[in-house]
Structures are given as structure tokens and as C-alpha cells.
Amino acid sequence: MRLLNVVVITSANCMFCDIAMAMLERLSAEYPLVISTLSANSVEGQALALECGIHFPPGIVLDGEALCYGQPSERRLRRAFKQRSS
């Protein structure tokens, strides 16, 4: 299995960001994830959000492509991770 690079664009005091991070941590036991975060208020976070069409946090970027933003779907994440890791 190849490593999957996941970047989460987060915001302070964001309930959905906390949910997304907990979900990704749980899924990292099943998939080879390298998880990093960027603040939505940082220059880098704003540039990535603009580039990927992410309108609000949390934004999840998988291998440089936007996967989702807002409240994440575990089913959608699993499907994307399975497709990319095989």
C-alpha cells in the first residue's frame, strides 16, 4: 500500500474540524495515512483552499486534490482511501 497524504484545513473552535481529525486518526489504523493540518487563517491554508475550491473548514485534501469540506462523511473518506491505496 502506498502512503496517502492528507491535509486538513482547520479553524480554531471548529466542531467539524475536531470530528474530521478524530475520524482521520481512527481511519489511519486501517489506511496508510500521513495527516497534516493547515490553519484556514494562514497564507498557505488560504492558498490551498482557493486552489482546491474549499469554501470553509474543515477541508480535506487527499494527494493534492480536494476530497470534501464541511462535515466529513466517513463512507466517502473510506471509499477514497480504498481507491487510492490499492
pLDDT digits (tens, 9 = 90+) for 5-48: 999 999 999 999 999 999 999 999 999 999 999 999 999 999 99
Q: What is the DSSP string of 50-71?
A: HHHT--SSSEEEETTEEEEESS
Residue spans of the domains in the chain: they are 9-85
Q: What is the pLDDT of residue 26?
A: 97
Q: Say what the pTM is.
A: 0.94
* Residue 19: Cβ within 10 Å count: 14
Supply the CATH classification number for the domain 9-85. Answer: 3.40.30.10
Q: What is the pLDDT of residue 37?
A: 97
